[in-house]
Every structure is written in structure tokens, then in C-alpha cells.
Amino acid sequence: MPFLEHVFQNTPALRDLITPPESSEMRFGHEYFDELDKQAEAEGWPPGWRMDHDAREANRQTVLAGRWSRDLWVFAYGSLIWDPAVYVEEYRRGVLSGWRRSFCMLLEGGRGSHDRPGLMAALDQGGQCDGVAFRIAADLVDRETKFMWHREMFAGAYCPVFHEVETPQGSVEALVFVMDRTNRRYMPHLTVEEAARMIAVAEGGLGPNFDYLQSLVMHLDELGIQDDDMKRLHASARAFRK
């Protein structure tokens, strides 16, 4: 069904830029993991590439304990902005302080391989991040966060935490999926050139890593979200591909 009028009352420019959840490929259940397990075996992904279903659900229950009966705000910095795959009650522009977008997560499957790993965007400490905050209605929190945990916590490389997010309508406490700095996939010390070179050559079953970066930069521009670091990384990776 189309978005209701009030969803974009604070962000009318976003109305035609957001994928409705019923059209999203990111709204998936356990059957999608079965397909990925087959792909992982075929491509030789390392053991433990994804989180166990029971562990993922236990994590969701722990993080959201005491919050089931109220609306849930979520901060989005990447594809969750334009393709949230959940039913949203309200969108706002938002700024998260103390965290920044960074291609700091090792990618050995999907858009990378064990021999030529790529990188995925995550939130790392330092700086600030412009994005959006969206609100899930209380009566949908349980159902919708199951889909969100399938997507964001499929590999267990993020830490779901709550942080204050500043919006033009006031601050909100929002769920944020930040990089787990204890995870083996965390790559904190890459220079722009090193990251760009990895992204330029990495490719997996889902295609080139560069296409993922390019899609992120294009969507941020379309949404009117400024991120000069992402543009510099994109320009550098593009130069390595020539």
C-alpha cells in the first residue's frame, strides 16, 4: 500500500525516494538465509559468516527489552534510508554525533571474495553522520524489528545500541546499528587509498564492490545528504578502476 500522508509531513522531499516495504527485497525471512548458505558454500565464505538464528533473536530480545510497548526510533545512514523494508510511521532528517560513515567492514562474500575482499559501509566512532530517523509504531515494533534484525544482524558484525539523534523537530533516542569493533571484520586503519583500491577490484556473487559504493553516493546525493568523505572515496576507487 502507498505511504500515508503523515509519514512525510516533516520530509516531503523524501516521499518519492523511499521504497515501500512491500516492494523491498530486504524484507526477508529465514528462507533467504537458506539461499545464502548455498551461496556461501559455493563461494567458499569463511565459517561463521552469519549469525545463528537463535543468537540473533536473543540479541533482539535483549536490546529491545522494556521497549516493546512504545514507538521505536531508528537512525538510518545507508540503505535503510531509502529502503527500510519496514513499515514507518514518521520520517525526519537526523544527525548522529560521535559516529561517521566509514567503509570499515571487511566483505568476503556478496560483493567480495576470500581472495579479493571488499568493504562495506558501517558507522565508526568519531565525527558525525547526517542521515534520517524514522519511527515504527509501538504495535508494529515486534513484527518489524524481526525483519530488521534479519537484515542488519545476519552476520553479527554490528552492535545495536541507542543514541541521541538530533532532528529539526527535537532530539530522539534512536536505535543505531554501529560497527562492532571487536569483530574480526573490523578494518579501522585503512587509508582512503587502501580502501579505494580494495573496493575497486573486489567482486562477488552479488557483483562489484564498486557498484555498492557508487549506489550509496548516488542515493545520498539524491536525498540531499552531504558526505564529502564518501565522495572522496568514490572518486579514488573510480580512478583505480581506469
On whether residue 229 sits in a domain, the answer given is no
Q: What is the pLDDT of residue 233?
A: 98
Q: Which residue in 30, 80, 69 sits closest to 52, CA to CA?
A: 30
Q: What is the pLDDT of residue 48?
A: 74
Spatial contact of 185 and 158, defined as CB atoms under 8 Å apart: no
Q: What is the pLDDT of residue 81?
A: 95
On whether residue 92 sits in a domain, the answer given is yes
On whether residue 118 sits in a domain, the answer given is yes
On whether residue 212 sits in a domain, the answer given is no
pLDDT digits (tens, 9 = 90+) for 153-181: 988 999 999 999 999 999 999 999 999 99
| Residues in the chain with pLDDT values less than 70 | 1-2, 46
Helices (H), 52-140: 53-63, 79-82
Range of the domain at 61: 5-187
Q: Which residue in 158, 178, 180, 152 sits closest to 79, CA to CA?
A: 152
Count of C-beta atoms within a 10 Å radius of residue 219:
16
- The C-alpha angle with vertex 241 and arms to 236 and 242, in degrees rounded to 5, equals 100
Q: What is the pLDDT of residue 204?
A: 87
The catalytically annotated residue of 89, 152, 173, 222 is 152
Distances (CA, A) of 215 to 210, 219, 221: 9, 6, 10
pTM above 0.75, yes or no: yes
On whether residue 24 sits in a domain, the answer given is yes
Q: Residue 237 in 3-state DSSP?
A: helix
Q: Rounded CA gap, 84 and 171, in Å?
A: 21
Half-sphere CA count of 214, side-chain side, radius 13 A: 13
Q: What is the pLDDT of residue 2?
A: 65
What size, in residues, is the chain?
242
On whether residue 236 sits in a domain, the answer given is no
On whether residue 233 sits in a domain, the answer given is no
Q: Is 104 exposed, middle or buried (0-12, 13-18, 19+ CB in 10 A)?
A: buried
Query: For position 162, which CATH number holds?
Result: 3.10.490.10
Q: What are phi and psi of 6, to 5 degrees?
A: -75, -15
Q: List the grid coordinates of 216.
A: 550509496
Contacts of 56 (CB under 8 A, 6+ apart): 149, 150, 153, 154, 156
Which residue's entry shows cell 529539526?
Answer: 168
Spatial contact of 108 and 114, defined as CB atoms under 8 Å apart: yes
Average pLDDT, the chain: 94
Is 152 among the catalytic positions? yes
Total count of domains within the chain: 1
Q: Which helix (H) or strand (E) holds 142?
A: helix 141-152
On whether residue 72 sits in a domain, the answer given is yes
